[in-house]
Amino acid sequence: MDFSLSEEQKLVKDTAARFADEVLKPQAAHFDATHEHPAEACQALGELGFMGIAVSDEYGGAGMDYVSYVLALSEISRGDASVGVIMSVCNSLYCFPVMTFGTDEQKKAFLTPVASGQKLGCYGLTEAGAGSDPASMRTTAVLDGDEWVLNGEKKFITNGNVASYAVVAALTDKEKGSKGISSFIVDLENTNGFSVGRVEEKMGINASGTAELVFEDARIPKANLLGERGAGLKQMLTTLDSGRIGIGSQALGIGRAVLEEAVDYSLVREQFGKPISQFQAIQWKLADMAAALDAAELLLLRAAWMEDQHAHFEKQAAMAKMFASDAAMAAAVEGVQILGGYGYTREYPMERHMRDAKITQIYEGTNEIMRLVIARNLLRKR
């Protein structure tokens, strides 16, 4: 078993780490406070090839593997978790389904702009009454001549307020239930009947917009159906498997930021005449963080490697996302504790990491759902 990285993977990791340290970390607090979309940072990531890492260069991507994706995304999220999730959604939730299920014409028109970093993409799945149970969605798409007519609202859509394109799930055959769901590519900039609804005020990841997508008799070309009619649920589940590797990587990056800052603080903060790093209580907290985060990284790299091998990785992605997000949240809680009163103030970034970490246990499948996915895979073999 070889744990070493290729030269290309090392370069990706080093490039992302340098970008995180030099560009993202210095401005992360500003973007968190102002809720401003970090447009310049996202454009720079596109120029580095990080908005379509695993997309072939034929369609504007970097043509790298998913292991490189984990390495890059965790470093970017270490610098700014908001930028990390913007990058994750473009790669996992938009580029992946278009690349996997789209026609050559669709890829040229709708994949290339996002994979190359010129535009942003998003994924319209969740609704007010359809979160963990996507089969409860109410958005519909009715074929009218050469156009599909979309009606409905999608909620909690990351990048929804800034994206140019979206993959949207809708019911095309109500009587078939979950087997009547189809996916569509929507050009949000040029679709009459589409509007951005409420932009949420959130606990964390504040520089990442979370918005409603509203479709009122929105007409899109018949050719924008993604894959086959009625294949939406299967596409959705495959897409979310890939997306969970992205969110796990975001969580890992947050956890790494927590650990770095906790170690640095413990070395300079003195109590009872010596640095608090010399107290066993602090050492144990740091050790637990480090072990959990290393374990999370190994789970993520395994899931990414399996995706690269085109193996079935649903269980591994769920394990990695669940474990990494729990590890990040646990690290953030202890990080605040190590900093004491300072950890609870905006003077230090630790409280932001705690706010940012929480969502990784919720979106792209709550950790309760992750446990059901893992159990389903285990019991399927009996």
Instruction: List the catalytic residues.
Output: 364
Q: At residue 270, what is the residue type?
A: E
Residues with Cβ within 8 Å of residue 154, at least 6 apart in sequence: 124, 125, 126, 127, 139, 160, 168, 212, 213, 215
Q: For the beta carbon of residue 305, count every other beta carbon within 10 angstroms.
A: 16
CA angle 281-283-285, nearest 5°? 75
Characterize 323-345 residue by residue with b for buried, 16 or more Cβ atoms within 10 angstroms of its Cβ, and e for exposed.
bbbbbbbbbbebbbebbeeebee
**278-283 contacts, C-beta under 8 A, 24 or more apart:** 282/338
Q: Rounded distance, CA 225 to CA 186, Å? A: 9
Q: Contact 170/152 with Cβ under 8 angstroms? A: yes
Query: From CA 247, how far away is CA 360, in angstroms rounded?
Result: 6
Under a CB-based contact definition with an 8 Å cutoff, are residues 9 and 73 in contact?
no
